[in-house]
């Protein structure tokens, strides 16, 4: 791929192939593995997030686990390193909502760049993320280069066309999960909960913590806790597990 001409047939077959995987982790890994045929990169990693925004698993391609551990336990939590933290809302280029492209040669953050990026030999990183039905990042993938050659326009164009398809496929995992647990079949009218309480109860049933619900709904934690207290009182339960069992009858 030496120009911006898109191999549409290959793109279609690639998306169709990845869509045949019905487990979230393998789906994300298969995408990164397959992209090596259409995009040159030397290293890569994938972080998997739970419903509360915490990393619970990872996949590393040609990347030493030492660097990932160092990043997760230290660099991602530095206040001055907020721009590069996976625990802040996923940032993309203003002109591009599908991918994020970083040239490390142009970055100068103290400590992070000289002590973490330079020793790894990284020059460019192309990232993309998949969200759940609530818009929260659940998968973050980074394709890293260690050469002076940036990602080619054709490579970027291919990924920009593929990523939206994969994002939609990924959200289907959560639709299926809701169907599997019958949450979508709950008779909310019988609960006598208010619309807001139903909204919060649904998020609780999907495993989301009160703190994350607060962020999702843009309300204070105190407000969320107040609603949860009312929900528990009305349904005579005292935990998320009891709530789910009660609603599913």
pLDDT of residue 79: 79
pLDDT digits (tens, 9 = 90+) for 55-105: 999 999 999 999 999 999 999 888 777 788 887 644 444 334 679 999 999
Q: Which of 171, 80, 90 is nearest to 131 (CA)?
A: 171
pLDDT digits (tens, 9 = 90+) for 8-29: 889 999 999 998 888 889 999 9
DSSP secondary-structure letter at 52? Answer: T
CB 84 within 8 A of CB 109: yes
Q: Which of 167, 171, 174 is nearest to 141 (CA)?
A: 167
The pLDDT confidence band at residue 136, using thresholds 50, 70 and 90, is confident
- The structure tokens listed for 222 are 């105190």
How many other CB atoms are there within 10 angstroms of residue 106's CB atom? 7
Q: Print burial letters for 136-172: b (CB count within 10 Å at least 16), e (below 16).
A: bebbbbbbbbeeeeebeebbbbbbeebbebbeebbbe
- E-assigned strand segments in the chain: 43-49, 55-61, 100-103, 124-131, 137-145
Residue 178 has pLDDT above 80, yes or no: no
Q: Could you give the CA distance from residue 224 to residue 140 in angstroms, rounded to a whole number?
A: 28
Q: Could you give the CA distance from residue 199 to residue 131 in angstroms, rounded to a whole number?
A: 19
Q: Which of 221, 181, 223, 219 is nearest to 202 (CA)?
A: 181
pLDDT of residue 2: 45
Report the chain's C-alpha Rg in angstroms: 21
Residue 175 has pLDDT above 70, yes or no: no
The pLDDT confidence band at residue 141, using thresholds 50, 70 and 90, is very high
pLDDT of residue 135: 81
């Amino acid at each position: 791929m030496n120009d911006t001409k898109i191999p549409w047939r290959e793109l279609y077959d690639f998306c169709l192939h990845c869509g045949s995987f019905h487990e979230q982790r393998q789906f994300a890994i298969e995408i990164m593995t397959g992209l090596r045929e259409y995009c040159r990169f030397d290293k890569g990693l994938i972080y998997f997030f739970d419903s509360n925004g915490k990393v619970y698993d990872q996949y590393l391609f040609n990347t030493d686990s030492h660097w990932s551990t160092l990043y997760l336990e230290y660099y991602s939590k530095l206040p001055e390193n907020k721009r590069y933290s996976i625990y802040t809302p996923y940032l993309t280029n203003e002109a591009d909502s599908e991918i994020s492209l970083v040239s490390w040669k142009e970055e100068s953050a103290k400590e992070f760049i000289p002590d973490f990026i330079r020793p790894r030999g990284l020059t460019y990183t192309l990232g993309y993320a998949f969200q759940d039905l609530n818009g929260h990042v659940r998968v973050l993938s980074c394709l890293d280069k260690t050469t002076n050659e940036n990602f080619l326009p054709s490579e970027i164009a291919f990924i920009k066309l593929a990523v939206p398809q994969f994002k939609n496929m990924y959200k289907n995992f959560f639709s299926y999960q809701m169907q599997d647990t019958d949450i979508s079949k709950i008779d909310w009218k019988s609960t006598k909960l208010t619309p807001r309480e139903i909204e919060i109860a649904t998020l609780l049933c999907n495993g989301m913590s009160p703190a994350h619900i607060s962020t999702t709904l843009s309300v204070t934690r105190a407000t969320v806790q107040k609603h949860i207290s009312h929900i528990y009182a009305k349904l005579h339960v005292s935990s998320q597990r009891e709530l789910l069992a009660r609603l599913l009858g």
